[in-house]
Amino acid sequence: MGASAERWFGVGRSLAADPAKAGAEACREALGGRRAGLLVVFASLTHATREMAEAVHAEAGGDVLMIGCSTSGEFTPDGRGAGVVVNALGGYDVSVRAVPHDSVDLYEAGIRAASCLDDIDAENRVVLLLGDGRSGDQQEMVRGAYTVAGALVPLVGGCAGDNVTQTGTFHFFSDGTEVQLLPNAVLGAALGSPVPFGIGAAHGWRRVGEPMVVSRSENGIIHELDGEPALDVYLRRTGGAPELANDPDAFLQFATVRPLGLARRTGEDIRVIFQADPETRSIFGLADTPEGAMVWFMEADTDGLVDAAPTAASAAIEGVGSEALGLLVFDCCVRSIALGADGTDLAASRLRDAIKPTPYGGFYSNGEIIRKTQAKGMHHLTVVALAFG
């Protein structure tokens, strides 16, 4: 898709109960009568259907590049909810790739998704990745993508959500005419522009108390901390009731907002704990926590959490260097649990006020991606923003 002289960004949202209707409405609003070069679609699990994806694509004229994924809720300046959000972009050089689930390993999937960059020759480039936080270690996917993008091209994006049901995610894709609904896939879109893309990230968590050593772990399961059964240490240090160990739902609610942080050169790498085994006294993390690593408990500071989205978005806009046309925002779904409904609303209104009147579309994600200087790639409990100039 060649770049035209004028670049634009439009966003539309619909909460209509019928997925296809919601898709068409959201797309119509995003386009505002213009012809898009790329559609970026975020849809709640209830709306993540082939009919929805086809309706969005048809509404845009039936011959347009499209990427998108299921979410744990979406948001725009009009508010947050469970429906469909369509972001439409025009005037950028764009190329897209889709890698179906289990077709290759995640490292190779990252290479293939990012290889859309080969098609783009522009002064400023970025790779937008939509991964799947449910299938394995997405850091491997980001590593693969980085071998293609390298130091010069930032990687940004998020992992698809499933309304925190732990069931499975879907991706929507079109490289022109055909529309695909792909479970647990990895998608990439490379964009080129004469002006820089801006990126930003923030989280609002901090370490608390004394560090512990992961004395036994494998594949994301932590068996021992400081030589003691990990579950016992975890509940004691967080003040959790012993009964939590036997109630998976209550433990999930409790533990997701009490993550561990791994020691890193600049700050911590956050690991979300989501499950406990009362028999083996182990705890389970969303990503690998290597044996021998030193970890801290991480604590949420409410103000920091609320301000993470406006902080990330403002940093992204600053990176554009001129007026931003719009933003994509990837906001970890666990942050909403930590903030509660009121806090999430407050965070949403602070984001809107901070970057008014710039339009944006975002979703609550299962992992956030930002690979640039000082950032490793795959993140959790974080907000990542990409601004278009």
Can you give the binding site for other proteins, defined by CB under 8 A?
111, 143, 146-152, 208, 213, 215, 227, 236-237, 239, 263-266, 290-294, 299, 301, 373-377
Give the residue from 3, 340, 382, 6 showing the smallest Cα distance to 201. 382
Starting at the edge strand that comes first in sequence, how are the strands of the sheet with 170-176 ordered?
A: 8-14, 84-90, 38-44, 64-71, 170-176, 180-183
Q: Is 341 buried (19+), middle (13-18) or exposed (0-12) by CB count in 10 A?
A: exposed
Residue 63 CB, shortest distance to other proteins, in Å, is 30
Helix (H) or strand (E) holding 327: strand 326-332
Residue 200 CB, shortest distance to other proteins, in Å, is 17
From CA 167, how far away is CA 285, in angstroms rounded? 17
Nearer to other proteins, 132 or 288 (CB): 288
What's at 309, amino acid-wise?
A: A
Residue 292 CB, shortest distance to other proteins, in Å, is 3
Nearer to other proteins, 160 or 293 (CB): 293
Nearer to other proteins, 278 or 304 (CB): 304
Nearer to other proteins, 241 or 294 (CB): 294
Residue 285 CB, shortest distance to other proteins, in Å, is 14
Parallel, antiparallel or unpaired: strands 93-99 and 186-193: antiparallel
Please spell the DSSP secondary structure of 230-241, one letter per residue.
HHHHHHHHHT--
From CA 106, how far away is CA 355, in angstroms rounded? 35
Whether residue 339 contacts residue 332, with contact meaning beta carbons closer than 8 Å, is answered with no
Residue 372 CB, shortest distance to other proteins, in Å, is 9
Nearer to other proteins, 147 or 165 (CB): 147
Residue 373 CB, shortest distance to other proteins, in Å, is 6
Nearer to other proteins, 150 or 242 (CB): 150
Residue 114 CB, shortest distance to other proteins, in Å, is 10
Nearer to other proteins, 39 or 127 (CB): 127
Please spell the DSSP secondary structure of 251-315, one letter per residue.
HHHHHHTS-EEEE-SSSEEEE-EEEEETTTTEEEESS---TT-EEEEEEE-HHHHHHHHHHHHHH
